[in-house]
Amino acid sequence: MYGNIRVELNHNGKTMPNLEENLGFGKHFTAHMFMMDYEEGTGWHDPRIIPYGPISHDPAAMVFHYGQAVFEGMKAFRTESDEVVLFRPDQNAKRLNRSSERLSIPQIDEEFVVAAIQQLVRIDAAWVPKKKGSSLYIRPFVIATEAILGVRPAMQYSFIIIMSPVDAYYEEGLQPVNILVESYFSRSVRGGTGDAKAAGNYAGSLKAQTLAKEHNCAQVLWLDAIEKKYLEEVGSMNVFFKINGEVVTPSLSGSILEGITRGSIIHLLKDWGIPVTERKISIDDIVEAHANGSLEEAFGTGTAAVVSPIGSLLWNGTPMVINQGKTGELVEKLYATITGIQSGKLPDTYGWLLKV
């Protein structure tokens, strides 16, 4: 498929940071990257693993003007027995194609994507940190590279994979965050690009996030764009609530990104016999559950943090404190289970890990 991956190994003098120390998130990049190009007529070609470094593009490259770009986010882990594993990479490859389809970007063979990630991780395996909770964050992305100012799908693209050793999101255990319920700005709307991992979705969300920070909130809880009533996501995470023993999460309405962590959590909850429902959830449902004491837990889910407990929701200027602002039992158990599987501490009973 697309020809053999050409490998050009050279660290270009790049030195590895001390992987035992503060890595932060997305600050350090490994020695190599994967690249492959697309041209209408030829298709995807020239897959290569080359030294990490700047790429140069014509200033008229369409990605700079019309934002034709999609990306993925996933992680490789070093297990307790010193193996390097990926968590559900087939799901990321599938979603990359779903996002691409929405943005009129050509598809890439999913098995090839996983194999390319495996080979790149193998080459830079020394960069997968060992420290508890740390991982190698993997960022595959596709950009339109054709140099033309006409508005239409590009005829040239690059598919690139870069990797970054990162710390655990929570160094000292889960920390509940304050969230602002966003009543004016929208992230996406049904029929738009909210269910694709499109770069532009993020550009449009920054302003609300900045304003939330001024209210001492880490992120916003997005409401649907039409009625400003139904919950969608929290920042760039999916959102879950535990109400009176039942777990609920917004159903995929066309404006919500289908998180792989979301899917894994629904799977675990069903397996544990905890009732879990995907449905429309209005902000009024949450206000009511909070008022009558049945709102037990709230949390966001995503690859970067796995889970992020919500300590309070700021709505109409009034904070609704959840579980006394503390990390709930269920979110703690979900975190322990998923990170336990990823680190090899718990058995991989669902077949979620792929060795590189």
Ligand X SMILES: *Cc1c(COP(=O)(O)O)cnc(C)c1O
Residues lying near ligand X in the complex (CB under 6 A) are found at 73, 197, 233, 236-238, 257, 259-262, 301-303
Gap between the Cα atoms of 223 and 233, Å rounded = 8
Q: Which is nearer to ligand X, 47 or 309 (CB)?
A: 309
Cβ atoms 347, 80 nearer than 8 A: no
Least distance between ligand X and beta carbon 246 (Å): 22
Q: Which is nearer to ligand X, 186 or 301 (CB)?
A: 301
Least distance between ligand X and beta carbon 302 (Å): 4
Least distance between ligand X and beta carbon 257 (Å): 4
Least distance between ligand X and beta carbon 272 (Å): 19
Least distance between ligand X and beta carbon 166 (Å): 13
How far is the CA of 106 from the CAs of 3, 5, 47, 68, in angstroms? 17, 19, 15, 11
Helix axes 89-102, 110-123, angle to 10 degrees: 130
Q: Which is nearer to ligand X, 123 or 218 (CB)?
A: 218
Q: Which is nearer to ligand X, 196 or 314 (CB)?
A: 196
Those residues whose C-beta lies under 8 Å from the C-beta of residue 283, and which sit 6 or more positions away, are 181, 223, 229, 230, 231, 315
Residue where the block lists tokens 């009732």: 275
Q: Which is nearer to ligand X, 158 or 303 (CB)?
A: 303
Which two three-digit tokens encode residue 17? 């940071």
Task: Report DSSP state, residue 177.
Answer: E
DSSP secondary structure string for all residues of 245-307: TEEEEE---SSS---HHHHHHHHHHHHTT--EEEE--BHHHHHHHHHTT-EEEEEEEETTTEE
Least distance between ligand X and beta carbon 351 (Å): 17
Q: Which is nearer to ligand X, 70 or 144 (CB)?
A: 70
